[in-house]
Chains A and B, each alone.
Chain A
Amino acid sequence: MKVVISATLRSFFNRESETEIEGNTITEILNGLTTKYPDSKKGLYDEHGEIRRFIRIFADDDDRTDKKRHSESLSGVKEVLILPLVAGGSPEGSIISDERRKEVTLDDKEVEQFNKHLLLREISVKGQKRIKAAKVVIVGAGALGSPVIQYLAAAGVGTIKVIDHDFVAVSNLQNQVIHSSRDIKRPKAASAKDTIRGINRNIEVIAENQMLTAENAISLLEGFDLVIDCTDNYKARYLINDACILLGIPLVFASIYQYEGMVGIFGYEDGPCLRCVFPEPPAPGLVPTCAEGGTISPLGGIIGSIQANEALKLIIGIGEHLSGKLLKVDTLGLNSHILKIKKDCNCPLCGDKPTITDVIDFDYEEFCGLNTGEDEIPVEGFTPEELAHKIESGEHLTIVDVREPHERAIIKFPDALVIPIGQLARRQKELNPQIDTVFICKEGKRSILAINTLREAGYKGAMYNLKGGMDAMKDIIFSNEGGGL
């Protein structure tokens, strides 16, 4: 059979434009082609073994690209053509449809209020109407939620829901600028609602003073155009990601830690989700939260403002955005970079064969193997008083501090051997199995993880946990300054 190859596909066929292949079906012709031109396999088929989207196979003028027609006889056919399909599309515009936009009007006061948006060619009246038509949920009214909620309210987003189960505390005022000292002990959601109403009374505000859980995630997020994750813990991030993907709602994600932050968009069009990049959360305690690690005051403002800006771009339908990318910002070294991330076809949530089809609650600690299961040897521990007594009575002990450098900078444990969790298995030779070893961390959780890690690595010596960690021990250390402890 005569096979004609388009010049546009020549790089797969040794630059030949015509060849003779034995065969009476398309399947036979394709097999013959890939045998004769091994390079053509990569050109004709994708990683799943399917014919690539840009390939069209014709028998004379009959399109036989569809697999079902590959076994049909080619008798009477003069030539088989391997041609390209040149096709594409514009990037999707706004997440708010034209119909929704047209239902909205702007009054004179709004024209005055949003004048600076109307002046921008890319936004103008159409974009402002989309902003007004938009319904956005913000989960978390803390460091990130503060700028996100205030800027989206200021920009004129028509419907805003704030979900937060927490109450305002004094320590929140350092970086949660939506709350004031008058709001202390009030629900954060209610305090955020007051701030929004102060900016624009026309906004429909829904304050949800409850925790987002597997049971309520779908009902709390359903019907909204966009979700913004401003939470500070892994459990919430995975629940929100799963619910958004199942509901088909795009998600603007961010996280902050000390001086650094990260922003990305998940579940937008065909883009990746959180689980494509991080299929499962890290073990609890391995990554300190902001409550443990601290953050510089304006960090939430910087990262949250980028989140709000991304949200507005999706709503208006302009610009390049962070779908399929993660923006990392280091405010101490003043640099930022964008990592490209890909959708994973094996993703348990949004891949080709998803195994997660429902928002499922998981006991985060259980899930990550921190809770001692029945078949696991329980970890023995000392209370701070017991440990202090042992040290004072001169017992032979090795103390291993698994905390991070910044945690040790606040309070040191005298004469402790410092080994970060990640290095434990490798450095187990530094420990003497004949001597009892006590592991300490901030709260007494990572130390359990450390003991289990060493057990798995085959360490045979006796290991104990300091119950409650340094948080529980520090009073004893302070009162013993200058003494043995």
Chain B
Amino acid sequence: MKGITVSFSEAVRMELGLEAVKEYPSECCGILLGVVDDQGNTKVTKVIPMKNNLMKDSDRKHYIIDPIKLYETERDYKETDREVIGFYHSHPDALAIPSVEDEEGMIPEMIYLITEVRNGKDTGLRGYIRGLDRDSLQELEITT
């Protein structure tokens, strides 16, 4: 099976890195807007940073986006040609692979981008998607 791809411009990639660095050592998080083609391949065209809705310190290892705030943002972009296609967050001083918590919380068919930040530097980005089955997690092929 050919892997599903996610693509974005250099500017979007930079913005993801800058957000992660800005929030370090806390986790950053936000929404990805873009388009999905017939094959399920996605293109991220806009990044919307959201507030990590956790208290200081616990936000170093976890993130939560307020569902109501998320819905409001979704509504603001409803009439445009872009839709919510996924989410991003950062892993401060940890690999950009989904934790058990990440994997369980993943909404099927949404894309998840994870930025790795080490000592305050953007050191990598990986993307994942899962279907409805528990073990259907797959890594996305990233193209810029």
Instruction: State the A residues within 8 Å of B (CB).
Output: 4, 6-9, 11, 42-43, 47, 53-54, 56, 58, 61, 63, 81, 83-93, 121, 269-271, 317-320, 340, 342
**Interface assignment of B107: CB less than 8 Å from any CB of chain A:** yes
Does the CB pair B106–A83 fall under 8 Å? no
Given contacts A7-B83, A43-B132, contact A87 B65 (CB under 8 A): yes
**Interface assignment of B12: CB less than 8 Å from any CB of chain A:** no
Given contacts A7-B74, A7-B83, contact A89 B99 (CB under 8 A): yes
Not counting A6-B71, A7-B78, A342-B134, a sample of 6 additional A-B residue pairs whose C-beta atoms are within 8 angstroms of each other reads A7-B74, A47-B134, A54-B105, A87-B62, A88-B101, A270-B100
Lowest 10 CB-CB distances: which A-B pairs, in order? A88-B102, A83-B67, A89-B62, A89-B101, A87-B64, A91-B99, A86-B65, A90-B94, A56-B67, A90-B91
Q: Which residues of A contact B135 (CB under 8 A)?
A: 340, 342
List 15 contacting pairs A-B, 8 Å CB cutoff, sorted by A: A6-B74, A7-B84, A53-B104, A56-B67, A63-B67, A84-B107, A86-B67, A87-B63, A87-B105, A88-B101, A90-B60, A90-B61, A271-B100, A320-B97, A342-B135
Q: Which residues of B contact A92 (CB under 8 A)?
A: 61, 99
Q: How many A-B residue pairs have CB under 8 A?
A: 104
**Interface assignment of B4: CB less than 8 Å from any CB of chain A:** no
Q: Which residues of B contact A340 (CB under 8 A)?
A: 135
Q: Which residues of A contact B60 (CB under 8 A)?
A: 90
Of all chain B residues, which has the CB nearest A60? Answer: B68
Provide the B63-94 mask, 1 if CB < 8 A to any CB of A, else 0.
Answer: 11101101100100010000110010101111
Cα A317 to Cα B102 with chains together (Å): 18
Cα A6 to Cα B109 with chains together (Å): 14
Of all chain A residues, which has the CB nearest B68? Answer: A61
> Which one, A6, A42, A58, A90, contacts B27 given CB within 8 A?
A90
Does the CB pair B109–A11 fall under 8 Å? yes
Cα A6 to Cα B84 with chains together (Å): 10
Does the CB pair B97–A9 fall under 8 Å? no
Given contacts A54-B105, A81-B71, contact A86 B95 (CB under 8 A): no
Cα A73 to Cα B70 with chains together (Å): 26
Query: Which DSSP category, helix, strand, loop or mixed, fits chain B's interface?
Result: mixed
Of all chain A residues, which has the CB nearest B93? Answer: A93
Q: Which residues of B contact A84 (CB under 8 A)?
A: 67, 70, 107, 110
B side interface size, CB within 8 A: 40
Given contacts A43-B132, A58-B67, A84-B107, contact A89 B74 (CB under 8 A): no
Q: Which residues of A contact B34 (CB under 8 A)?
A: none
Q: Which residues of B contact A61 (CB under 8 A)?
A: 68
**Interface assignment of B108: CB less than 8 Å from any CB of chain A:** yes
Q: Which residues of A contact B29 (CB under 8 A)?
A: 86
Q: Which residues of A contact B49 (CB under 8 A)?
A: none
Q: Which residues of A contact B109 (CB under 8 A)?
A: 11
Chain B residues 42-70 with CB under 8 Å of chain A are: 60-65, 67-68, 70
Least CB distance, A87 to chain B, in whole angstroms: 4
Cα A4 to Cα B65 with chains together (Å): 19
> Which one, A47, A85, A91, A270, contacts B67 given CB within 8 A?
A85
Does the CB pair A8–B74 fall under 8 Å? yes
Does the CB pair B99–A83 fall under 8 Å? no
Cα A58 to Cα B70 with chains together (Å): 13
Cα A338 to Cα B70 with chains together (Å): 38
Cα A195 to Cα B56 with chains together (Å): 47
Q: Which residues of A contact B106 (CB under 8 A)?
A: 54, 88
Cα A85 to Cα B83 with chains together (Å): 17
Residue from A8, A43, A56, A90 having most chain B Cβ neighbours under 10 A: A90
Least CB distance, A404 to chain B, in whole angstroms: 34
Residue from A83, A86, A342 having most chain B Cβ neighbours under 10 A: A86
Cα A122 to Cα B131 with chains together (Å): 33
> Which one, A11, A269, A319, contacts B95 given CB within 8 A?
A319
Given contacts A6-B70, A43-B108, contact A91 B95 (CB under 8 A): yes
Q: Which residues of B contact A85 (CB under 8 A)?
A: 64-65, 67, 105
Chain B residues 2-55 with CB under 8 Å of chain A are: 27, 29
Does the CB pair B94–A86 fall under 8 Å? no
Cα A320 to Cα B94 with chains together (Å): 10
Q: Which residues of A contact B105 (CB under 8 A)?
A: 53-54, 85-88
Chain B residues 109-142 with CB under 8 Å of chain A are: 109-110, 118, 132, 134-135
Of all chain B residues, which has the CB nearest A121? Answer: B118
Does the CB pair A8–B84 fall under 8 Å? yes
Of all chain A residues, which has the CB nearest B133? Answer: A42
Q: Which residues of B contact A89 (CB under 8 A)?
A: 27, 61-63, 99, 101-102
Q: Which residues of A contact B108 (CB under 8 A)?
A: 11, 43
Does the CB pair B95–A58 fall under 8 Å? no
Does the CB pair A91–B94 fall under 8 Å? yes
Cα A88 to Cα B128 with chains together (Å): 13
Q: Which residues of B contact A11 (CB under 8 A)?
A: 108-109
Q: Which residues of A contact B62 (CB under 8 A)?
A: 87-90
Cα A86 to Cα B63 with chains together (Å): 8
Given contacts A42-B132, A43-B108, A43-B132, contact A90 B71 (CB under 8 A): no
Cα A270 to Cα B102 with chains together (Å): 12
Does the CB pair B68–A83 fall under 8 Å? yes
